[in-house]
Structure 1
Amino acid sequence: MTKGTPHIQPNGTKIAKTVLMPGDPLRAKYIADNYLEDVVQFNEVRNMFGYTGTYKGKEVSVMGSGMGIPSIGIYSYELYNTFDVDTIIRVGSCGALQEDVNLYDIIIAQGASTNSSYVDQYNIPGHFAPLGDFDLMVKAKKAADELGATTHVGNVLSSDTFYNADPTFNDQWHRMGILGIEMESAGLYLNATYAGKKALGIFTVSDHILRDEATTAEERQNSFTQMMEIALEIA
């Protein structure tokens, strides 16, 4: 039996090969309560809740990641390398950065650009492009189409800065075609690639940066059902 880490203490409870990973641990609890059967909790360290259950007969786990690349970097590294998880599907919210993307649209992150220095640890002699798993991406797009979701597939930005002092920051990324901004996927994709595992980010647009539109915190926690169902279908 795998021993726990300082951040994940399953105490004998199994963690599935596929883990859905929202940033908010309360969203993890929502998914477990509303979508999974035969649920058992495998982590409560630092209130970063993790649960294992079944969805349509498939074993799946769900766990919060916290905010930012340093946080998801820790949890995803341990899940991949200590607990032998094969696939992590990030489900989260993002801010739209293109005019044709609207509130509640689904963004599937083919790639994750970043202003983070997380990649520096690998000493790569150039600029590495963190990419999601292609097979997962294709399956996610198919599942989204079957649900009738409005989807966009492409590049997101995993930003280390929520409040940026540079007033041109968003404009520059907008010009480069970035669909939306979030804060975790690049770190997840790098950990997955280095470990030889799979990862994908699926997002609901919670606000529109160019149009100053936003959903409420309660809506972000409880109403992003299409994103959750897409992730569960491909788990």
Structure 2
Amino acid sequence: MNEGFRKPTASNPIENGKLPHLKLSIDSKVPKLFFLPGDPDRLKLFEEAADSFEYLSVNREFSTGIGTFGGKEFGVCSTGIGGGSSEIVMVELHSLGVERVVRVGGCGALREDIKCGDMIINSGAVRLGGSSKMYVRVEYPAVADPFMVVELAKSASKKGIRAHVGIGATVDSYYAGQGRCIEGFEIPGSSLPEELSSAGVINFDMETETIFTLASLMGMKAANILAVHGNRKTDEWLIDYRSAQLCAIETALETDFLTL
């Protein structure tokens, strides 16, 4: 029986032949390379930077599109915030045959010399999320594809952009987990930002480790490039980070692995 006419079930909720969250047909022909911003509105920045761009679907926090840059095709899919929605994107893109993903988003720096508007490219990430723990034990490393890391760093260098390569940390919490103030509530325990900074971790985000871990487990390749929105050491905050996000997107699009 054709998959599109199967009755959806709780264990396999394919309805009318479409993936349950991305709302793309399971037999869609999509690019092998996808960029993964968090915010669905950032697809507009990819549209601005690309030579051509078209939207494929919009559902909840998940917006997808296909573009071309320098004659090469790429896909974009927003993940929303955190590990749970990032897991959904990774699993459903994998089912479409996507082979390489690049998270393009924002983060908070944990080192004084990293300025707001700089770029961070993570070689690996401390696994403090939640969703990836459902797939493999916590000792399993969340690492980027080293060749993609090098290409991103080379692209940033060519553009004259300050980029920092190192280990990041992903945590499924924006407030308590990242040591932010909550009025009328005292966060128990030690400060996680200080603990990680003392171990040489250079930044926080909420998606990278999920993307890296699942990519490795599913035979995909992954990397990231993150614009620094804030610095937890200096307490500096980038109020308008549109230009920084566009810079991250352009750096990612100009990498040599787009031609592979």
Counterpart for residue 175 of structure 1: 198
- Matches of 2:64 and 2:142 in 1, distance apart? 26
Aligned to 1:163: 175
Match of 2:107 in 1: 94
Other structure's SS at 1:224 match: helix
Once the two structures are TM-superposed, the CA of residue 119 in structure 1 deviates from its matched residue by 3.7
Which residue number in structure 2 is paired with residue 142 of structure 1?
Answer: 154
Per-residue CA deviation, residues 163-191 of structure 1 (Å, 9 max, x unaligned), is 11245111101101111100000000111
SS of the residue corresponding to residue 143 of structure 1 reads helix
> Does the 8 A contact of 2:28 with 2:96 survive in 1?
no
Which stretches in structure 2 are left out of the alignment for 5+ residues?
A: 5-16, 177-186
Q: Is 1:70 matched up with 2:70? A: no
| Alignment partners' CA distance in 2, 1:123 and 1:200 | 19
- 1:202 is aligned to 2:225: yes
2:42 maps to what in 1? Answer: 27
Which residue of 2 is the match for residue 129 of structure 1?
141
SS in 2 for 1:101: coil
Task: Give the alignment's TM-score, normalised by structure 2.
Answer: 0.83
**3-state DSSP class of the match of 1:100?**
coil
- For residues 243 and 113 of structure 2, the distance between their equivalents in structure 1, rounded to whole angstroms, comes to 25
1:211 CA displacement:
1.2
TM-score using structure 1 length: 0.91
* 2:208 partner amino acid: S
Which stretch has the larger CA shift, 111-120 or 186-195? 111-120
- Displacement after TM superposition at 1:13 (Å): 6.1
Q: C-alpha offsets along residues 14-65 of structure 1, whole Å, 9 cap, x if unaligned?
A: 4211111110000122212x02233221111125221101011000111211
Q: In 2, distance between residues paired with 1:13 and 1:39?
A: 17
Can you give the 5+ residue segments of structure 1 that lack an aligned partner in the other structure? none
Shift of residue 228, structure 1, vs aligned partner: 0.8
Query: Which of the two has higher C-alpha Rg?
Result: 2
Distance 1:150 1:7, change over 3 A: same
Give the total of aligned pairs: 230
Counterpart in 2 of 1:17?
A: 32
- 1:228 is aligned to 2:243: no
Give the Å deviation of 1:76: 1.4
CA distance 1:173–1:107, shift in 2 (3 Å):
same
Q: What letter is aligned with 2:142?
A: P
